[in-house]
Amino acid sequence: MDVIIDVKRHSYDDLLVLEDIKIQVREGEIVAVIGPSGCGKSTLLGIAGGILKPSEGKVFLEGNAPPDCLNPLTFIFQDFALLPWRTVEQNVGLPLEHHKLSTSDRQARIADALQRTGLSDFAKALPKQLSGGMRQRVGIARALVVKPAVLLMDEPLSALDAQTRDLLMEDFLDLLLHERMAGIYITHNFQEALRLADRVVVLSRRPGRIKEVLTIPIPQLERTNKAALAPLAELGDRLWSLIRDEASVADREVIHD
Amino acid sequence: MDVIIDVKRHSYDDLLVLEDIKIQVREGEIVAVIGPSGCGKSTLLGIAGGILKPSEGKVFLEGNAPPDCLNPLTFIFQDFALLPWRTVEQNVGLPLEHHKLSTSDRQARIADALQRTGLSDFAKALPKQLSGGMRQRVGIARALVVKPAVLLMDEPLSALDAQTRDLLMEDFLDLLLHERMAGIYITHNFQEALRLADRVVVLSRRPGRIKEVLTIPIPQLERTNKAALAPLAELGDRLWSLIRDEASVADREVIHD
Amino acid sequence: ETVKIGVAKSTTAAPVYVAVAKGFFAAEGIDPQVVFFEAAQPVAVAVVSGDIDVGVTGFTGGFYALAGQGALKIIGAHSREVPGFHGLGYFVSEKAAAAGLKTVKDIPGHSVAFTTVGSAFHYSLALAAEKYGFDMQTVHLEPLQSNPNAASAVAGGSVDIAMVPSTSGLPVVQRGQAKVLAWVGDETTWQLGATFISAKTADTRGDMVKRFMNAYRKGARLYHDAVTGPDELPKNGPQTAEMIAIIAKAIGQTDAEVSTALAYADPDERVDVKDILHQIAWYRAQGMVKGEFNPEDMIDKRYMIPYPQK
Amino acid sequence: MTEITAGGASVRREVAFRGGGFIAMPKPAYSWIAFAGIIALWQLAISAGWIDPVFLPSPASIVEALWQLTVSGDLWKHLSISLARIGSGWLIGSGLGLIVGVSMGLTSAGRAIGMPLVSAIYPVPKIALLPLLILWLGIGETPKVVTIASGVFFPTVIATLAGVDSVPRNLIAMAQSFNLPTRSIVWKVLLPSALPGILAGFRISVSTALLLVVAAEMIGAQYGIGAFLLTAGNLMQSDDLMAGVVILSILGLGFGAGLTALERVLLRWR
Amino acid sequence: MTEITAGGASVRREVAFRGGGFIAMPKPAYSWIAFAGIIALWQLAISAGWIDPVFLPSPASIVEALWQLTVSGDLWKHLSISLARIGSGWLIGSGLGLIVGVSMGLTSAGRAIGMPLVSAIYPVPKIALLPLLILWLGIGETPKVVTIASGVFFPTVIATLAGVDSVPRNLIAMAQSFNLPTRSIVWKVLLPSALPGILAGFRISVSTALLLVVAAEMIGAQYGIGAFLLTAGNLMQSDDLMAGVVILSILGLGFGAGLTALERVLLRWR
Ligand SMILES: Nc1ncnc2c1ncn2[C@@H]1O[C@H](COP(=O)(O)OP(=O)(O)OP(=O)(O)O)[C@@H](O)[C@H]1O
Ligand SMILES: Nc1ncnc2c1ncn2[C@@H]1O[C@H](COP(=O)(O)OP(=O)(O)OP(=O)(O)O)[C@@H](O)[C@H]1O
Ligand SMILES: [Mg+2]
Ligand SMILES: [Mg+2]
């Protein structure tokens, strides 16, 4: 299933945040969106997922969702968005509760999601007992349990420390490549973009517009090879030069109130 | 001025956190400390700075502080630790207020610190009006204003987004290399360690012990050269292999209460 | 037929207790339920709200305010302050007594504590002012909302005089913290309160009211004759002890406490219309009762017996 | 969305909006309309005879009572006296509460000793103790001010303590790492940081002070809003009674608005 | 440290400790000692004749009064009646407060209409309204329960509203992104998330209920702790009065401990 984003304009009150954003993500493709702080990346993803209404524009889904898909457009959140009073398995089960499923089907889905995120041993733990990395695994399991067609990821690794980030990124890639989902991956980090994405959309600073779209021609699984280091480093330099100035201006903006 | 850390043991109640840590940092040298979450890095730095009492062990300073040094051991904090009700310049001036200084000396110090961190235009701004990167600059300016002999940095960049981190790291390095201070730099991120440090101390998971000390033989200013890429990548692989397993075990610990 | 009778918890409603104890109400086919209140004011309110059928308490500003709106009808008397009966008293602090405050005439310039503005004490003091010709403005009134507060104030010496019932004042005197200055009944005679019903009861339950008053007057007569001599002064007769025992049981105090605080009751519960008009005039003059109404309208002549005017 | 999940031919469907809600936007017009509606209904109910004015005075008669009170000059007399009592009681209670609260927050011993006492004394109803209070303090201004101050003291202690507890530890460690003297840490870090909590406590203590003015003026007061209310109650002048209630409400709203303004100034940095 | 900053020959100096403090450790022993000390001093002051027992009854006589109350069986009678009133008043007030608070938190109109009314009515002192309350509701159990319920209602509304407001927006967006129906969002996300705030509000409302039992039992009550206190006050039996106060204090501490236990169970996840 493909997702087609066509946002002409979005503003909060008087603040214009997004302008002329057209992105189509095909089934099996991962598109990273990168841009300076406050340029409207989260806003864009919210619009894509139908939880924000764009001032002007539309989002379409095209094609067929997997047969057992319960929630085609599914989010993974930066701050995990777990319910702290529910155990891991209750959190993962939340999106199933309002669907008519047999108990065994429900349990099978939960068990499968936990197993694929390496959480099987932690089913009864509460979020507060887990490290950040494990909490985000719960967030991922909760997304997988509904068998999504499109995965919307808002800086899913940025709240984690560097080591956990490195550890989780590989697992993440593995999951993404195994499901034939469309994925939109918001990030600040061009290393993550280079590791995961098929295409990278670079946004300008606010109001966010598409500044450039970079295609990464190397398959993800080959990117750790020695041979890929040089071209990836070059792409990285190019990305960094695209965002560096925008980022440093955005960083130095004073918020008046 | 050198700092000599000699912690035999430190525990919180029954929880043993550090064991047998001996580190000497010489004037002008930057030592990075890397280790998995919860291994006791912050605890170690607190002990080094005299704001935590080790269960067993001592910290020494050796040599002479700069003549105008007001606070030899000075921290830069992960969460910036700014007073939100004070403007940038008032925050930077805080450590001077209980010292007998002439008004002009005080103002000169503040102006100098702001200028060196690129904050001169933001003297009257409140912390809430600044981005994370700018806030950490205030934290750095506040440290510089007392002309420290030893700079203790607890993951100073880890609360920032990836782009700001990249932007600030270069400025940081510039500052560190210009002052002949001793620096201890706690981090999770081996890329940061490789960029900044003369030596990298790798701690095991809790209870933290010194697992290995790596010396980086390339001068900091030459590390961005093409020629340095290969040896640095090798050091990086080595570092990652040293911490990878410890980190993933630490990540999967369930906190019981 | 159940009739709820609201009274303030004191000796002044003695005829009610006697009529209950002696079965006079039962004889009239009435099942009496006495409901005790901490103060007189809420009784009037509860009669208006219909929770209480008959109220037997002292007058208050609030009573007249409700009666003035036509909500209450007076059908009989309540206790009177008369010479010899020690209901309400003037209690003087040791300090003020030592400084020469000896009689009611000396009150001007002194502070007087009592429950509330517009209370029986307030009115009594106004009568004393009329009698002795002093100006109420020269008296420092200290409304303290409750009798124990007023008694506390005189005990601690923070006011010169407390006007409280003997039940609140005498314990302070016994502890040596105050002296009796005078009794209201000895100084100024007046009708302290009334038996009253709501306007609705007066119009719709006339038969019950008549039967109630019959029984109630029997109780009053018995009580009056037991504790009052032919000179209308207190006496200790053969039936006095029995009356004291009935009252003590009803209000949960000891016989000794009750015996010092026996109140006067008119044998026929006759209503002193002239006195009531005088009271209303005073309340009006003070601005405590507002609105236009004919005071005569608050007395239901169908049920009451007027007090002979001298 | 269901059509899509159901599968079928390759179709293009617009994504439906599923967010929004769960956030209350300020709608001041609603407030005014609601207020006006309630008052109009109330007046109507009495004018039409559905409610007996003995039971509930009409808005018109309450306004009339307020007007009388204003033109006769009594309003000002009552108000000024009560405000003086509320003001001094509140200042004393808050001042002591702040000092005690900070001391309890700073020292283990202070907290260990203070906390159980505060918990034990806080729920004691003030009106029940009035006779004793009169015995101790007489009937002058002192017991009135003490009544209000004691009501204000406890919430202030609790709010201050909570405020001090919520001071981020890292700010204190920062100050210590720069060798700030303890006194400076208290004044420059602890108190400003606890200020939002303390101001939140003031909201409670100001309401408490208003509530207690009635209890305080039970003690031998001729003038004051509380005394006025009590007298109106004693005389069953329900229009005056409601007028007094309205005055207290307005005072409460006014103090609340004042605190909001104060917060806006003092907590601009948030 | 100063020696080092002063410069001079190359010396080795130990770094001095400059952290610590500013954190209160639980010291239960101090609490007990303080309590015992205060009571001992109080008893001494009276035994030695420094304080007249009329002004302040001695701890011994208060204990004696409590004992009398217990053996005579009156304690239980008063307590059970008051607890029934507090319990039903609290349940009604909290129940309505929760419903109103959640509705106000969920809808803009609800908040716009409710908030000014709540702010206006909250600071009205209940005792001042007793005469009207009797007029409206008579003198049975109803006005007593209503007095307590109305005192409980307002803090509950405010705490619930604050709790609902503090629900993280991201949790609601998460639930919406999984198409959870609104009812589920309220029950599964909003209410559990607001629970800590609601429980904190219960602390206030329970104290309020205890305070108001005295006001409530001013309305023609023969039995109950409040009525007992009032009678003791009327008769100037200060030992009984203080015994009643002690009972209220103990009730307050007991309810507080109960809530703490409840929080420990319900908020284990924090
Ligand atoms: N609900 C809102 N109301 C008003 N302004 C908003 C709202 N949400 C976001 N904004 C503003 O819109 C702009 C874009 O916000 P958004 O969160 O989409 O940026 P972002 O690119 O995700 O930033 P970041 O990299 O910091 O996550 C910012 O300036 C933000 O302050
Ligand atoms: N004040 C304290 N009381 C009790 N335990 C503590 C305290 N501070 C830290 N700990 C525990 O000591 C261990 C080490 O903590 P520390 O903060 O030094 O680790 P760290 O290496 O800095 O971790 P991170 O990488 O997450 O910052 C952790 O398990 C932590 O839970
Ligand atoms: Mg974002
Ligand atoms: Mg740390």
> In angstroms, what is the span from residue A193 Cα to ligand 3's centroid?
15
- Max mean pLDDT among B78-82, C64-68, E116-120, E123-127 falls in B78-82
Burial of residue C267 (number of CB atoms within 10 Å: 0-12, 13-18, 19+):
middle
A73 within some domain: no
At residue B257 the predicted structure's pLDDT band, cuts being 50, 70 and 90, is: low
- From A148, A172, A205, the end of a domain falls on A148
β-pair partners for B7:
B21, B57
Cα–Cα distance, A4 to A63 (Å, whole number): 11
Q: How far is C133 from chain E (nearest CA, A)?
A: 34
How does the average pLDDT of chain C come out, rounded? 89
Residue pair C263/C191 in contact by the 8 Å Cβ criterion: no
D4: pLDDT strictly greater than 50: no
At residue D26 the predicted structure's pLDDT band, cuts being 50, 70 and 90, is: confident
Task: Kindly state whether residues B38 and B144 are assigned to the same domain.
Answer: no
Nearest neighbour of D219 by CB, restricted to C60, C141, C144 = C144
A6 within some domain: yes
Average pLDDT over residues C65-86: 89
D11 within some domain: no
Task: Kindly state whether residues A187 and A115 are assigned to the same domain.
Answer: no
Q: Amino acid identity of E28?
A: P
At residue A71 the predicted structure's pLDDT band, cuts being 50, 70 and 90, is: very high
Q: What CA–CA distances, in Å, run from E187 to A51, E172, E190? A: 20, 12, 6
D8: which 2 tokens?
Answer: 């079928």
Nearest neighbour of E233 by CB, restricted to C46, C148, C171 = C148
D111 within some domain: yes
Dihedral of CA atoms E160, E161, E164, E168 in degrees, nearest 10, equals -130
Name the residue with higher pLDDT: D5 or D122.
D122
Q: Which of A5-14, C20-29, C281-290, E76-85 has the lowest mean pLDDT?
A: C281-290
B76 within some domain: no
B208 within some domain: yes
> In angstroms, what is the span from residue A158 Cα to ligand 3's centroid?
10
pLDDT digits (tens, 9 = 90+) for C127-163: 999 999 999 999 998 888 888 788 888 888 889 999 9
B156 within some domain: yes
Q: Amino acid identity of D238?
A: S
> In angstroms, what is the span from residue A89 Cα to ligand 3's centroid?
27
Task: Kindly state whether residues B132 and B203 are assigned to the same domain.
Answer: no
D51: which 2 tokens?
Answer: 């409610």
Q: How far is A65 from chain D (nearest CA, A)?
A: 6
E54: pLDDT strictly greater than 80: no
Domain extent at residue A220: 1-65+151-257
The verdict on a CB contact (< 8 Å) between E117 and D214 is no
Q: Which ligand is nearest to the CA of B246?
A: 2
- From B94, B123, B148, the end of a domain falls on B148
Q: What is the 3-state secondary structure (H, E, C) of chain C?
A: CEEEEEEECCHHHHHHHHHHHCCHHHHCCCEEEEEEECCCHHHHHHHHHCCCCEEEEECCHHHHHHHHCCCEEEEEECCEECCCCCCEEEEEEHHHHHCCCCCHHHCCCCEEEECCCCCHHHHHHHHHHHHHCCCHHHCEEEECCCHHHHHHHHHCCCCCEEEEEHHHHHHHHHCCCEEEEEEHHHHCCEECEEEEEEHHHHHHCHHHHHHHHHHHHHHHHHHHHHHECCCCCECCCCCHHHHHHHHHHHHCCCHHHHHCCCCECCCCCCECHHHHHHHHHHHHHCCCCCCCCCHHHHECCCCCCECCCC
The predicted pLDDT at position A257 comes to 61
Q: How far is E109 from chain D (nearest CA, A)?
A: 7
Task: Kindly state whether residues B40 and B163 are assigned to the same domain.
Answer: yes
Cα–Cα distance, C105 to C87 (Å, whole number): 20
Average pLDDT over residues B21-39: 93
Average pLDDT over residues A145-168: 92
The verdict on a CB contact (< 8 Å) between A53 and D20 is yes
A70 within some domain: no
Nearest neighbour of D7 by CB, restricted to A64, A71, A73 = A64
Residues of D in contact with C45 (CB under 8 A): 236
E139 within some domain: yes
The predicted pLDDT at position E117 comes to 85
The predicted pLDDT at position D9 comes to 53
Chain D touched by C69 (CB under 8 Å): yes
Residues with C-beta less than 6 Å from any ligand 1 atom: A 12, 15, 17, 37-43, 206
Residues of D in contact with A48 (CB under 8 A): 15
The verdict on a CB contact (< 8 Å) between B79 and D170 is yes
Please report, rounded to a whole number, the percentage of residues in chain C having pLDDT higher than 90.
52
E2: pLDDT strictly greater than 50: no
The predicted pLDDT at position E10 comes to 66
Cα–Cα distance, E56 to D129 (Å, whole number): 11
Which atom of ligand 2 lies nearest, measured to the CA of B37? Answer: 25
Task: Kindly state whether residues A57 and A88 are assigned to the same domain.
Answer: no
The predicted pLDDT at position C108 comes to 93
Domain extent at residue D110: 63-266
pLDDT digits (tens, 9 = 90+) for E206-258: 988 988 898 888 877 778 998 888 878 776 778 888 899 999 889 988 998 99
E51 within some domain: no
Q: Which ligand is nearest to the CA of A44?
A: 1
> In angstroms, what is the span from residue C122 Cα to ligand 1's centroid?
70
Residues of A in contact with B131 (CB under 8 A): 37, 250-253
pLDDT digits (tens, 9 = 90+) for C85-129: 988 999 999 999 999 999 999 999 999 999 888 888 999 999 999
Q: What CA–CA distances, in Å, run from C274 to C279, C281, C306, D178, E130? A: 9, 11, 10, 87, 32
Residues of E in contact with D185 (CB under 8 A): 22
Chains in contact with B, where contact means 3 or more Cβ–Cβ distances below 8 Å, are: A, D, E
Nearest neighbour of A243 by CB, restricted to B163, B252, B257 = B163
Ligand 2 atom 25: residue of nearest CA: B37
CB atoms within 10 A of CB E120: 18
Detail the DSSP E strand segments found in chain E: 12-14
D237 within some domain: yes
How does the average pLDDT of chain B come out, rounded? 92
Residue pair C264/C192 in contact by the 8 Å Cβ criterion: no
E74 within some domain: yes
Chain D touched by C153 (CB under 8 Å): yes
Task: Kindly state whether residues A173 and A126 are assigned to the same domain.
Answer: no
With a CB cutoff of 8 Å and minimum separation 6, the contacts of A212 are: A201, A202, A242
Q: Which of A26, A61, A73 to mutate: most D Cβ within 10 Å?
A: A61
Residue D25 φ then ψ, to 5°: -90, 145
Residues of B in contact with D180 (CB under 8 A): 94-95, 97-98
Q: How far is E161 from chain B (nearest CA, A)?
A: 26
Nearest neighbour of C151 by CB, restricted to E137, E140, E236 = E236
Domain count, chain D: 1
CATH at B4: 3.40.50.300
Q: Which ligand is nearest to the CA of A37?
A: 1
The predicted pLDDT at position C310 comes to 61
Total number of residues shown for chain C: 310
ipTM: 0.86
Task: Kindly state whether residues A14 and A60 are assigned to the same domain.
Answer: yes
pTM for the structure as a whole: 0.88
Task: Kindly state whether residues A133 and A155 are assigned to the same domain.
Answer: no
User: Count of alpha carbons within 13 Å of C199, Cβ hemisphere only?
Assistant: 10
The predicted pLDDT at position E5 comes to 43
- From B90, B118, B148, the end of a domain falls on B148
Query: Which chain D residue lies closest to A47 (C-alpha atoms)?
Result: D17
D5: pLDDT strictly greater than 50: no
B73 within some domain: no
Q: Which of D52, D55, D126, D134 to mutate: most C Cβ within 10 Å?
A: D134
Task: Kindly state whether residues B47 and B161 are assigned to the same domain.
Answer: yes
Which atom of ligand 1 lies nearest, measured to the CA of A203? Answer: 21
Range 136-165 of A in CB contact (< 8 A) with B: 158, 161-164
E44 within some domain: no
Domain count, chain B: 2
- B84, B187, B196, B75: which is closest to B142 by C-alpha? B75
Q: Chains A, E: CB contacts under 8 A, how many? A: 54
Residues with C-beta less than 6 Å from any ligand 2 atom: B 12, 15, 17, 37-43, 188, 206
Task: Kindly state whether residues B175 and B212 are assigned to the same domain.
Answer: yes
Task: Kindly state whether residues B14 and B47 are assigned to the same domain.
Answer: yes
Max CA-CA distance within chain B? 55
CATH at E78: 1.10.3720.10
- C218, C190, C299, C255: which is closest to C11 by C-alpha? C255
The verdict on a CB contact (< 8 Å) between E12 and B61 is yes
The predicted pLDDT at position E1 comes to 41
Average pLDDT over residues C246-269: 88
With a CB cutoff of 8 Å and minimum separation 6, the contacts of C117 are: C61, C141, C143, C288, D231, D234, D235
pLDDT digits (tens, 9 = 90+) for E152-197: 999 999 999 989 988 999 999 999 999 999 999 999 999 999 999 9
Ligand 1 atom 28: residue of nearest CA: A38
Name the residue with higher pLDDT: C195 or B66.
C195
- Which residues fall inside 5 Å of ion ligand 3, going by CB? A 42
Task: Kindly state whether residues A121 and A157 are assigned to the same domain.
Answer: no
The predicted pLDDT at position D225 comes to 93
The verdict on a CB contact (< 8 Å) between D177 and B75 is yes
- D197, D247, D252, D162: which is closest to E154 by C-alpha? D252
Chain B touched by D95 (CB under 8 Å): no
Average pLDDT over residues D50-68: 89
B159: pLDDT strictly greater than 70: yes
Nearest neighbour of C147 by CB, restricted to E134, E140, E234 = E234
